[in-house]
Amino acid sequence: MATQLPPQPKVGMVSLGCPKALVDSERILTRLRADGYAMSPDYAGADVVLVNTCGFLDSAKEESLAAIGEAIAENGRVIVTGCMGNEAEAIRAKFPAVLAVTGAHQYEAVVEAVHEAAPPGQGPFIDLIPQKSAELPDIKLTPRHYSYLKISEGCNHSCAFCIIPQLRGKLVSRRIDAVLREAEKLVAAGTRELLVISQDTSAYGVDTRHESRDWHGRQVRAHMTDLARELGQLRTPQGAPPWVRLHYVYPYPHVDAVIPLMAEGLLTPYLDIPFQHASPKVLKAMKRPANDAKVLERLAAWRAICPEIAVRSSFVVGFPGETEDDFAYLLDWLDEAQLDRVGAFRFEPVAGAAANDLPGAVPEAVKEERYARLMARTEAIGTAKLAAKIGRTLPVIIDEVGEPDEDGDIGATGRSQADAPEIDGNVFLRNVPKSLQSGDIVEVEIEQADAHDLFGYISDI
C-alpha cells in the first residue's frame, strides 16, 4: 500500500513598504520553502499569514495596521514582521490575537515563529522536500525580468526626520563577492534589469573599510564604484548586458566616478538621489548636506559626460521651520536642476524622530498648498522633458504584453531607461508582434507624450 506524504503547511504573505522590504519577504519565503512550506496565494489556503510591515511614516503605519487587521479577519493566524515590528506592544494591544511580532530583516526569528505556528512536516520523507538549488532558485515577488539587488542594510545617517537607523540599525554591507554572485545568478536565471538598493548605496563598504574579496580570480573592493563596474560586466545567456539601475544614491564625491560608466553603456543612465530639500537652512535643520550650488554644478557636469542621464529625487515639504522664502528657494532650485522625475512628501512627525522637537511647525493647510505647488512645478518640468523625446528612438524593456483587441492589434507596456518599475512612468506601445514577451528589450520610436508617460511603436518591425 502506498504511503502518503504529509501535506505541506502553507504560508501566505502580505508585503508592504519599500523594495528593501520586498527583498526581505523574498528571503523569508525562500527559507520557508526550503524548510518544507508551500506558498498560498490567498488567505483561505494559508495555515499562517505573514505581514511584512512598514513603519517609516504614520500613514505607512496605518496601512500596516489595516493589513494586519484584514489578515486576522480573513485568516486569524498572523505573524507580524518588518519595520513596525519594533512597536510590538502597540501591535499586540490593538491585535491581541497576533501570534508573534519580529523586527526588520530578522529572518531567523520569523522562520522560528512560523515553525511554532505551523510546524513543518516531519518523517522519513522529509528529504524529498525540494531544497534551494540552481533548478529551484530563490523565490521572487517581482516579475522574472527584473530583480532587486540589496547590497547593504541599515544607515549611518542621523537625519532629523528619519528613524530608519532605529528600525534597521547602522550600516551593514554585504560581502562584495556575495553580492556579485547573487547578481550573476539572477542574470543567468532571466533577469534583464538589476535594481541596486540599500538605505545608502553610496556608503556601501564603509563599515568594512571597503575590504577586497576574490571574484573570478581578481580582487574587488566593497565600494560602490567597483560594484558598479563589475555589474556592468555581466551578460545574459543571450550575451546582452542587463540594465543596472542605482537607487538611494547619496551625492558623495565618488558618485562622479560612476557617470562615465553610464556613458560607456555599463550602467543604466539613471540615478535615484534623495535630495530632500535645497534651502541650506532647511537642510541644516534636517541634518543633511547643504551645498546646493555644488549639486547644481555636478548635475551639469554629469549631463555633459552622459547626456542621457535621468535623475529622480524626492523632497519633503513643510519641514519644521520651513518658511515661504525657503520653499521659494526650493522651487527656484528645481527650475535650475531640471530633474527628470520628482516625488514629494508632506512632513509627518514620526515617533522617535528628532524633528518632532523642532520649533516652527508648518500648518497642514500650508503643507498641502506647498505640496501642490511643488508637484505642479515639477510636473511642468517633467512634461517638457518627455515632450522632447518625441521623434526619438529609445530602448524599452517590456513589462507586460496585452491581449489582441477586436481588430487583432496587440498593445504592450514597457519602460525606458529613465523609468524604474513601480516608481516612474511607462512607455505604451501599439501594434506589437505576437512574439513579444515580458523582459524583451526593443527599440521604440516615440510618437506621443503626456505628463508622465510616453507612447510609441517598435521601430524595427
CATH of the domain at 116: 3.40.50.12160
- Model confidence pLDDT, tens digit, residues 83-95: 888 888 889 999 9
Whether the Cβ atoms of residue 279 and residue 326 lie closer than 8 Å to each other: yes
Return the pLDDT at 170: 87
Inside any domain, residue 5: no
How many domains would you assign to the chain? 3
Whether residue 107 has pLDDT greater than 90: no
pLDDT at position 137: 55
Residue where the block lists cell 496585452: 402
User: Is there a single domain that holds both residue 453 and residue 366?
Assistant: no
How far is residue 130's CA from residue 8's CA, in Å, rounded to a whole number? 11
Least confident of 35-44, 138-147, 208-217, 413-422: 138-147
Confidence label for 133 from pLDDT (cuts 50, 70 and 90): very low
Residue 140 domain-assigned? no
Residues 295 and 245 in one domain: yes
Domain boundary among 387, 414, 431: 387
Give percent above pLDDT 90 in the chain: 68
Length of the chain: 461
Q: Report the percentage of the chain scoring pLDDT > 70.
A: 93
- Whether residue 113 is found in the same domain as residue 217: no
CATH code, domain carrying 262: 3.80.30.20
pLDDT at 128 over 50: no
Instruction: Say how far apart CA 110 and CA 28 lie, in whole Å.
Output: 8
Say what the pLDDT of residue 195 is.
Answer: 96
Q: Give the domain-ending residue among 387, 419, 440.
A: 387
Q: Are 338 and 415 part of one and the same domain?
A: no
C-beta of residue 332 within 8 angstroms of C-beta of residue 441: no
Q: Is residue 195 part of a domain?
A: yes
Residue 19 CB contacts under 8 Å (≥ 6 apart), including other chains: 148, 195, 197, 247
Tell me which of 126-135, 217-226, 375-384 is least confident: 126-135
Q: Which residues contact 93 (CB under 8 A, 6 or more apart)?
A: none
Residue 64 lies in a domain: yes
pLDDT tens digits for 446-461? 999 999 999 999 987 6
pLDDT per residue as tens digits for the range 324-360? 999 999 999 999 999 999 999 999 887 777 787 888 9
How far is the C-alpha of 403 from the C-alpha of 409, rounded, in Å?
A: 8
Residues 104 and 176 in one domain: no
83 and 214 both lie in a single domain: no
User: Is 137 a member of any domain?
Assistant: no
> Is position 2 within any domain?
no
CA-based nearest residue to 120, from 36, 60, 40: 36
Residue 320 has a pLDDT of 94
pLDDT of 20 reads 81
Q: What are the tens digits of pLDDT across the range 239-284?
A: 999 999 999 999 999 999 999 999 999 999 999 999 999 999 999 9
Higher pLDDT, 407 or 396: 396
What whole-number distance in Å separates Cα of residue 359 and Cα of residue 221? 44
Residues 340 and 411 in one domain: no
Query: What count of Cα atoms within 13 Å lies in the side-chain half-sphere of residue 163?
Result: 21
Residues 189 and 325 reside in one and the same domain: yes
Are 202 and 301 contained in the same domain?
yes
Residue 3, in any domain of the structure:
no
Please give the grid coordinates belonging to residue 184: 550573476
The angle that helices 224-231 and 176-188 make with each other, rounded to 10 degrees, is 20
| Cα 10 from Cα 12, distance rounded (Å) | 7
Residue 290 — pLDDT band, cuts 50, 70, 90? Answer: low
Residue 277 forms part of a structural domain: yes
221 with 167, same domain? yes
pLDDT of residue 254: 92
* Amino acid 161: pLDDT: 73
Query: Domain holding 452: CATH number?
Result: 2.40.50.140
Q: Of 387, 405, 424, which closes a domain?
A: 387
> Taking all residues of the chain, what is their mean pLDDT, rounded to a whole number?
89
Note whether 165 and 250 are same-domain residues: yes
Please compute the mean of the pLDDT values over residues 299-314 and round it to a whole number: 97
Domain interval for residue 445: 393-458
Give the pLDDT confidence score for residue 224 in this predicted structure.
96
Summarised one tens digit per residue, pLDDT across range 51-67 is: 999 877 778 888 999 99
259, 400: one domain: no
